[in-house]
């Protein structure tokens, strides 16, 4: 099994989700939860961007023990100084600076208005500058997946020579396809001098719904670290979802010889805490943490699950810390599920009474999307009161 580092950026890129901003106290609460969850690195914010961001990085750095705490900086002196000020009290092996500059043609031409040489010069200068204060330096080539490969190799080579200990490959706009992103990682593994001595990280966005697939392809081609957020929150369509990536490795360990340090039974509590803090509710069918993902409504599925859960479940709710109440009664439910539900409340009915309850239940279920437990109690008492 190869151990993959989990770099969590819920508090930085995740917080860049519209509507996800968190107070300093909320970030600290979330960081403590991420520590319990077992992430290896926590990117706590972008200190130069505001006093609240600065304070949050500082407070997270003093609150958590085990994870490496990371602060983001552009290739600009004042950004790097701000990260250092926020993290300077933390032991050197527990703090990291993440410096980035864009490398793709479109960013070079319109955003940075810089030639390739200038960009390489900035990488050399500012990774070197950051290295004076930090043992651990991550360098990201923003929009790496849309950068010419020979230039990307040059950029990473320059960063490693200047002291980077992790090189990160962002698919900034979620444009890559899994096979081409995997191929890119392999090419970098083979083509960047010194890469065997550093961590090779990936940071995938979800604009085409491929963030998790691209991260997985990267790991299968040699990436040693994956950048993720809880519930997949982040800029635009979000980032690679921690819970999806981690559970893929767990559920398909027959095919995927990789492990993480995540305590999966804390995934759901962590997801709920984030929802509670930000008010951003994952869609009901969001893999792993959505409300529907362990519910079975059709009669055939309910019957199967009641006979053996693995007929329609590839993981247990308890694997991610969820309760195992999985039957939702509705129009597609059959007699078996109804009987089980009633029995779970200790209600045992003779066959004739049960038949009447079932008829009333199907009438109601045709009118209502879901039949709640209270509805069932009313039906049962109504039937029992009938002469």
Residues that bind Zn ion (CB under 5 A): 13
- 3-class DSSP state of 102: strand
Report the first-to-last Cα separation within the chain, whole angstroms.
67
Q: How far is the CB of 266 from ligand KIV (least distance, A)?
A: 25
The entry of Zn ion, ligand KIV, none near residue 244 (CB within 5 to 8 angstroms by kind) is none
Question: 185 vs 293, which CB is nearer to ligand KIV?
Answer: 185
Q: How far apart are CA 196 and CA 30, in angstroms?
A: 33
Give the orientation angle of helix 116-131 with respect to helix 149-161, to 10 degrees: 30
Q: What is the DSSP string of 259-270?
A: E----GGGHHHH
Q: Which is nearer to Zn ion, 13 or 79 (CB)?
A: 13
The tokens for 358 are: 């079932």
**Residue 229 contacts which entry, Zn ion, ligand KIV, none (Cβ below 5-8 A, type-dependent):** none
Smallest distance, ligand KIV to C-beta of residue 45, A: 12
Residue 84 binding: pick among Zn ion, ligand KIV, none (C-beta 5-8 Å cut-off by kind): none
Q: Tell the smallest beta-carbon distance from residue 190 to Zn ion (Å).
A: 25
Residue 140 binds which entry of Zn ion, ligand KIV, none, with Cβ cut-offs from 5 to 8 Å by kind?
Answer: ligand KIV
Residue nearer to Zn ion on the CB measure, 7 or 294: 7
Q: Which is nearer to ligand KIV, 95 or 203 (CB)?
A: 203
Grouping H, G, I as helix, E, B as strand and the rest as coil, residue 290 is coil
Residue 100 contact partner, candidates ligand KIV, Zn ion, none, CB within 5 to 8 A by sort of partner? ligand KIV
With CB cut-offs between 5 and 8 Å by kind, which of ligand KIV, Zn ion, none does residue 264 bind?
A: none
Q: Which of 332, 335, 311, 313 is nearest to 324 (CA)?
A: 313
- Supply the DSSP string of 47-74, one letter for each residue: GGG-HHHHHHHHHHHHH-SSSEEEEEEE
Q: How far apart are CA 72 and CA 49, in angstroms?
A: 10
Comparing CB distances to ligand KIV, the nearer of 140 and 302 is: 140
How far apart CA 142 and CA 103 sit, in angstroms, is 6
C-beta of 205: minimal distance to ligand KIV in Å?
Answer: 6
**Least separation in angstroms between CB 13 and Zn ion:** 4
Q: Which residues contact 331 (CB under 8 A, 6 or more apart)?
A: 297, 362, 365, 366, 369
- Nearer CB in complex with Zn ion: 177/237: 237
Of the two residues 205 and 286, which places its CB atom closer to ligand KIV in the complex?
205
Question: What is the closest distance, in whole angstroms, from the C-beta atom of residue 142 to ligand KIV in the complex?
Answer: 4
Longest Cα–Cα distance in the chain: 91
Return the number of the residue (13 or 303) whose C-beta is nearest Zn ion.
13
Cβ distance to ligand KIV smaller for residue 170 or 282:
170
Instruction: State the number of CA atoms in the 13 A half-sphere of 308 facing the CB.
Output: 3
State how beta strands 370-371 and 329-330 pair: antiparallel
Say how many C-beta atoms besides its own lie within 10 A of residue 292's C-beta: 12
Rounded least distance, CB 141 to Zn ion, Å: 12
Collapsing DSSP to helix, strand or coil, 78 comes out as: helix
In the complex, which residue's CB is closest to Zn ion? 13
CB of 170 to ligand KIV, least distance (A): 3
Q: Which partner from the list ligand KIV, Zn ion, none does 142 bind, CB cut-off 5 to 8 Å by kind?
A: ligand KIV
Q: State the residue for tokens 């032991």.
A: 91
Minimum Å gap between C-beta 204 and ligand KIV is 9
Contacts to ligand KIV by CB under 6 A: 13, 100, 140, 142, 170, 172, 203, 205
| Helix-then-strand count for the chain, H and E | 14, 12
């Amino acid at each position: 099994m190869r151990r993959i580092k989990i770099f969590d950026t819920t508090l930085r890129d995740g917080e860049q989700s519209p509507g996800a901003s968190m107070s300093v106290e909320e970030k600290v609460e979330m960081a403590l939860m991420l520590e319990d969850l077992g992430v290896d690195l926590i990117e706590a914010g972008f200190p130069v961007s505001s006093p609240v961001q600065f304070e949050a990085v500082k407070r997270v750095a003093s609150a958590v023990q085990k994870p490496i705490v990371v602060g983001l900086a552009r290739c600009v002196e004042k950004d790097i100084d701000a990260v250092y000020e926020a993290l300077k009290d933390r032991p050197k092996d527990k703090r990291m600076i993440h410096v980035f500059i864009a490398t793709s043609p479109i960013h070079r031409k319109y955003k940075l208005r810089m030639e390739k040489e200038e960009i390489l010069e900035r990488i050399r200068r500012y990774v070197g500058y950051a290295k004076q204060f930090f043992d651990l330096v991550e360098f990201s080539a923003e929009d790496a997946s849309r950068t010419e490969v020979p230039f990307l190799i040059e950029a990473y080579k320059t960063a490693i020579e200047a002291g980077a200990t992790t090189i990160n490959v962002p698919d900034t706009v979620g444009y890559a396809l899994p096979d081409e992103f995997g191929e890119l990682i392999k090419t970098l593994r083979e083509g960047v001098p010194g890469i065997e001595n550093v961590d090779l990280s990936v940071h995938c966005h979800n604009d085409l719904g491929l963030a998790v697939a691209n991260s997985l392809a990267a790991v299968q081609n040699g990436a040693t670290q994956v950048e993720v957020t809880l519930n997949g929150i982040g800029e635009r369509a979000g980032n690679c979802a921690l819970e999806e990536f981690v559970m893929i490795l767990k559920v398909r360990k027959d095919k995927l010889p990789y492990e993480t340090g995540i305590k999966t039974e804390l995934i759901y509590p962590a997801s709920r805490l984030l929802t509670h803090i930000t008010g951003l509710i994952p869609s009901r069918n969001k893999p792993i943490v959505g409300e529907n993902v362990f519910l079975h409504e059709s009669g055939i599925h309910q019957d199967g699950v009641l006979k053996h859960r693995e007929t329609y479940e590839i993981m247990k709710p308890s694997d991610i810390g969820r309760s195992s109440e999985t039957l939702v009664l509705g129009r597609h439910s059959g007699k078996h599920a109804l009987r089980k539900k009633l029995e779970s409340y200790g209600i045992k009915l003779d066959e004739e009474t049960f038949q009447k309850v079932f008829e009333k239940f199907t009438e109601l279920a045709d009118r209502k999307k879901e039949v709640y437990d209270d509805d069932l109690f009313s039906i049962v008492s109504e039937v029992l009161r009938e002469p």
